[in-house]
């Protein structure tokens, strides 16, 4: 009986965290309101136009609320609601309201943890470096599963997901109909094997199988399998975050689309030295779908590094640099969809390289967050004339947690 109780306490510790934190409390509900100032300043290239950059004053604020409802020590319901309010002084077409919501329910039994969650995003912001236009799209997803605790240190997670991405009718970018090119559904199943080495460190192997279907672009239909071993570190560990590196096999249903078998990664780690200097590193390598019918998908590789130096108890300096590379895969020569001459290199297509350098001076106000003022410089270079190059300098003020 003792090990079973210990495992139940471990999974339900989230309830203790909610009740012990500084949240507003009303009956069985706990509230965590938050107000973010994501951007206040000048955007030197609103449309990422390589030929005629246009400058405007912009403001983005995000009211956000998290609501927790614990049920004894047996269940926890978490709801998060937020919206990005984007305003441009001159170009009214770029203003938008982008609501987002998610719900997650967990039930803690003796050896089992049952969970179900759903998410909804209705956004007009750019969601990748592939499409520069701000176009309205709706992302919906549901998931559910169970965690089985075999021993106090060893557990297995089994889950299933279903999602949908929908662009509004009439949405276009560079002559391509995004509603036809990018609307798709996704279904998947996942398995995660987790072994806790210490109270702060775990070794995990994640396996995922998925299928993507495009109603108006069936040649993009794809089945995919990935295996990603990795490690997880809790926030109190010397190194915090997680790191996964593995292999993904991407198998298109159409013979016109080249397949892919290669490395994928998802890494986000941070380390604080002497309580004053923090180092961060990130790496995301995975596949994404392109709007261009001639180059159906790309291999994205994003790496980043940051350093934060505290100066006294309130001030700090933050420097970061990120690089985002997109390597596109072109349709094979026999394809009837492609208009590209067979003489061009195949299956490799165009490539783009985007850098983002950021520097800011911040002031932390107790538990309210960080007020930062700085600059952000974006630079893209592409081998495709259709994609184009651009430079963008932003001077901004931000308020973050």
Domains of the chain in start order, with CATH, are 2-400 (2.40.170)
Q: What are phi and psi of 219, to 5 degrees?
A: -65, -15
For helices 2-11 and 13-20, angle between their N-to-C axes, nearest 10 degrees: 50
Confidence of residue 18 (pLDDT cuts 50, 70, 90): confident
Looking at residues 300-308, what average pLDDT do you find?
97
For the stretch 91-144, pLDDT in tens is: 999 999 999 999 999 999 989 999 999 999 999 999 888 998 999 999 999 999
Instruction: Work out the angle at residue 167's Cα, subtended by the Cα atoms of residues 164 and 170, and round it to the nearest 5 degrees.
Output: 150
Extract the tokens encoding 220. 């993009």
> What local confidence, expressed as pLDDT, does residue 237 receive?
87
User: What percentage of the chain carries pLDDT values higher than 90?
Assistant: 76
Predicted TM-score (pTM) of the model is 0.89
> What local confidence, expressed as pLDDT, does residue 248 receive?
98
Q: Which of 279, 211, 293 shows the shortest CA–CA distance to 249? A: 211
Extract the tokens encoding 84. 């990005």
> What local confidence, expressed as pLDDT, does residue 347 receive?
57
Confidence of residue 384 (pLDDT cuts 50, 70, 90): confident
The CA R_g of the chain, rounded to the nearest whole Å, is 23
Q: Which of 192, 206, 136, 189 shows the shortest CA–CA distance to 165? A: 136
Exposure string of 184-208, with b = 16+ CB inside 10 Å and e = fewer, is bebebebebebebeeeeebebebeb
Confidence of residue 243 (pLDDT cuts 50, 70, 90): very high
């Amino acid at each position: 009986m003792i090990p079973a109780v210990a495992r139940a306490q471990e999974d339900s510790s989230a309830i203790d965290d909610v009740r012990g934190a500084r949240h507003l409390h009303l009956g069985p509900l706990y509230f965590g309101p938050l107000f973010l100032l994501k951007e206040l300043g000048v955007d030197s290239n609103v449309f990422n136009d390589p030929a005629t950059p246009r400058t405007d004053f912009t403001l983005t604020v995000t009211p956000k609320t998290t609501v927790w409802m614990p049920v004894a020590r047996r269940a926890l319901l978490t709801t998060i609601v937020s919206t990005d309010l984007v305003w441009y002084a001159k170009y009214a077409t770029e203003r938008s309201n982008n609501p987002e919501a998610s719900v997650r329910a967990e039930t803690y039994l003796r050896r089992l943890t049952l969970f179900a969650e759903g998410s909804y995003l209705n956004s007009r912001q750019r969601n990748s470096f592939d499409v520069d236009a701000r176009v309205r799209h709706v992302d919906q997803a549901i998931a559910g599963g169970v965690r089985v605790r075999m021993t106090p240190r060893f557990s297995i997670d089994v889950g299933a997901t279903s999602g949908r991405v929908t662009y509004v009718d009439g949405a276009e970018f560079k002559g391509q109909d995004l509603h036809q090119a990018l609307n798709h559904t996704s279904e998947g199943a996942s398995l995660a094997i987790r072994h806790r080495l210490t109270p702060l460190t775990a070794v995990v192997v994640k396996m995922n199988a998925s299928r993507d279907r495009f109603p108006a672009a069936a040649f993009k239909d794809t089945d995919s399998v990935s295996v990603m071993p990795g490690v997880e570190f809790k926030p109190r560990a010397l190194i915090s975050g997680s790191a996964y590196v593995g292999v993904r096999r991407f198998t298109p249903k159409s013979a016109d689309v080249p397949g892919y078998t290669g490395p994928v990664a998802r890494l986000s780690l941070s380390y604080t030295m002497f309580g004053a200097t923090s180092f961060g590193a990130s790496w995301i390598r995975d596949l994404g779908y392109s709007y261009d019918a001639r180059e159906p998908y790309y291999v994205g590789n994003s790496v980043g590094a940051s350093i934060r130096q505290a100066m006294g108890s309130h001030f700090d300096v933050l420097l970061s640099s990120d690089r985002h590379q997109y390597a596109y895969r072109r349709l094979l020569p026999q394809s009837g969809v492609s208009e590209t001459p067979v003489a061009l290199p195949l299956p490799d297509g165009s490539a783009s390289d985007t850098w983002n350098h950021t520097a800011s001076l911040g002031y932390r106000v107790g538990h309210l967050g960080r007020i930062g003022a700085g600059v952000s410089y974006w630079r893209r270079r592409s081998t495709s004339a259709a994609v184009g190059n651009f430079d963008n300098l932003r001077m901004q003020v931000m308020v973050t947690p």
